[in-house]
Structure 1
Amino acid sequence: MQLEIFQVDAFSTEPFGGNPAAVVPLQSWLPDAVLQRIAEENNLSETAYFVPNGQSYDLRWFTPAVEVDLCGHATLASAYVLFEQLGEQAQVLRFNTRSGELRVSRGADGLLAMDFPAKQPQALDAPAGLLQALGLSQAAAVYRSDDYVVVVDDAALLDPLKPDFAALSAFDVRGIAVTAAGRGFDFVTRWFGPRVGVNEDPVTGSAHTSLAPLWAERLGKTALTCEQGGARKGQLHCEVPGNGRVIISGRAALYLRGSIFI
């Protein structure tokens, strides 16, 4: 069997930036075990698969270890492949996913805008051992949604972080985001997900369904500029219109187009 594969750097204007994702278009679903093995072989934080379904597409995402409920950067990468590589003419793509229908539209300026459900993180006391595992002595606040969200007062604390990934994997959440205001953006973030097989994700679009509402409330803004990453970074624009949705926008760049032989 021969399958087409694309590797796209999402949330970047050029290759080697943002967050790489593999995208594999399918005409019908392969067995789940095969989808997981391909994702493991790709060894990227996410491999996305889509299958045409009428006027929409069914979309699924796999890390090297598990299938996940929502992935922003691989959704952006999938939309980029459809719009820019496969000749999709629609202005708005509709994806059927585990997280409901997701829509991605393309603007005249080249931005791809993803319409995702918003999540409001809930404040809580820092779980025992969390800050130590991150290498932090203190935090301004800690919240929980799909992830633990750790807010720190100084953006300069983010780049030097060297978490204990084995310790972080013991926490029963998808991942851990460490975030702060500043550094030329409304907020900046690093995201760690050893529990789902991704020690660090350069840009996690889905995490911004929680981060954007949190920072919109903290900063009193509905439109936010954002950057995520450690050594490798990407940029996003988020809008929180107050209707239970978050609009997450970014650009993408093609790195690779080839074939899988299985």
Structure 2
Amino acid sequence: MRKSNKRLCLYNTHLKANKYTALRCVLIAAEQTVFSDPHSQCYGSSALIIIHRNGLTSAMMQKIASSSTHPATVFLKQQDIKKRHCAIRWFNHSHEISRCGHGTLAAALFLKKFQGISPQGFYSNNKELFSIKSQRKQTQLQMTTIKSTQIAPLPLLSNAIKGKIIKTYQTAEQHGYITVLVDNRQPLTSYIVDIDELTHVANAVILLQQANITEQQGVWYFRYFAPYYGVNEDRATGSALSVIAPITEQLTHKKQSLLIQQSSTKAVIHSCLSGKSVIIH
């Protein structure tokens, strides 16, 4: 490993079952943080990056992720990390994740430090491609956007979210995203969200609040909840921008946005809408 990577946190992962088989397969376990800006007290979120040999099963991956202190654990095969496109899998503490923006960007940043280059893209189990772009010494993630439709207020959300709801958008009735635009006269951090109520919603729920509009971009606050998938409130999410970006462009006609995730650690994300894709960093 290069000297520049000595600052990365490398450690052994201890498992109760299949311990020795799993540890033989794991070559590198490293921490990588994304969406942080200490100057504005936004500390982002970390992912545990696992590079492994063949032989690591899905059950082993889940046990590793369950024992991790990170909100997402990313698995990359050693044989793929220098390829143009690299297979990627993500797990939280209880489930395999179908898409994870913060974990994918974390993988690209780590591989660039570790081996000097990052793949041009990562593809998930369902063949969704997450492209990596390098501009001005900056690593960016490009994802396909997901269209939302404005819907009538949902009583379940009104019960779960203690604050004024302005508009509600939905990508799908189940296993998609619901975006709730809330009033900006109340700080987003003060909104009380009933997690038990949201557990019955088979979608991830995004609270979105407009902060400001400049000539170049819109500034937004948001929070992300997915208790149905085992995540009460996410510290930093990148995949949500594929849903948020088309909505903010529709509301303000600005393709560029600065988004501040108002979680416990806070995160800052820059986004730019480009056709049917959004580019984030």
TM-score (norm 1): 0.86
Structure with more strand by fraction: 1
How far did residue 229 of structure 1 move?
2.4
How far did residue 141 of structure 1 move?
0.2
* Alignment-derived partner of residue 34 in structure 2: 10
Instruction: Return the letter of the residue paired with 1:227.
Output: I
Map Cα deviations across residues 125-165 of structure 1 (whole Å, 9 max, x no partner). 122221221222x3110011221100012064310123211
CA separation of 1:70 and 1:214: change in aligned 2, threshold 3 A: same
- Secondary structure class of the residue paired with 1:79: helix
TM-align CA RMSD:
2.0
Q: Distance in 2 between matches of 1:180 and 1:99?
A: 32
Instruction: Return the letter of the residue paired with 1:248.
Output: I
Q: Distance in 1 between matches of 2:54 and 2:120?
A: 18
How far did residue 237 of structure 1 move?
1.0
Alignment of 1:232-251 (within 5 A): 232-242=265-275, 244-249=276-281
Q: Distance in 2 between matches of 1:198 and 1:75?
A: 18
How far did residue 61 of structure 1 move?
0.7
Over 4 Å off, 4+ runs: 13-16
Unaligned runs of 5+ in 1: 250-262
Q: Which has the larger radius of gyration?
A: 2
Instruction: Return the letter of the residue paired with 1:70.
Output: R
Q: Distance in 1 between matches of 2:112 and 2:36?
A: 16
* Alignment-derived partner of residue 68 in structure 2: 42
Equivalent position to 1:206, from 221, 239, 262: 239
CA separation of 1:189 and 1:155: change in aligned 2, threshold 3 A: farther
Q: Distance in 2 between matches of 1:29 and 1:118?
A: 34
Q: Does 1:103 align with 2:131?
A: yes
Counting matched residue pairs gives: 243
Q: Distance in 1 between matches of 2:46 and 2:185?
A: 24
Q: Distance in 1 between matches of 2:117 and 2:280?
A: 21
State, as a whole percentage, how many aligned pairs show the same letter: 22
Deviates more, 1:177-186 or 1:95-104: 177-186
Q: Does 1:116 align with 2:143?
A: yes
Q: Distance in 1 between matches of 2:139 and 2:197?
A: 36
Map Cα deviations across residues 154-181 of structure 1 (whole Å, 9 max, x no partner). 06431012321111111111x1110111
Q: Does the aligned pair in 1 maintain the 2:179–2:208 contact within 8 Å?
A: yes
Q: Does the aligned pair in 2 maintain the 1:225–1:237 contact within 8 Å?
A: yes
Q: Distance in 1 between matches of 2:42 and 2:210?
A: 25
Q: Distance in 2 between matches of 1:29 and 1:241?
A: 39
Q: Distance in 1 between matches of 2:53 and 2:111?
A: 14
Q: Does 1:131 align with 2:155?
A: no
Alignment of 1:153-164 (within 5 A): 153-154=183-184, 156-164=186-194
Instruction: Return the letter of the residue paired with 2:131.
Output: R
Q: Distance in 2 between matches of 1:96 and 1:225?
A: 26
Instruction: Return the letter of the residue paired with 2:57.
Output: P
Q: Does the aligned pair in 2 maintain the 1:179–1:190 contact within 8 Å?
A: yes
Instruction: Return the letter of the residue paired with 1:87.
Output: Q
Q: Distance in 1 between matches of 2:202 and 2:251?
A: 26
Q: Distance in 2 between matches of 1:24 and 1:34?
A: 12
Q: Does the aligned pair in 2 maintain the 1:191–1:200 contact within 8 Å?
A: yes
Unaligned runs of 5+ in 2: 1-22
* Alignment-derived partner of residue 258 in structure 1: none
CA separation of 1:142 and 1:163: change in aligned 2, threshold 3 A: same
Q: Does 1:88 align with 2:116?
A: yes
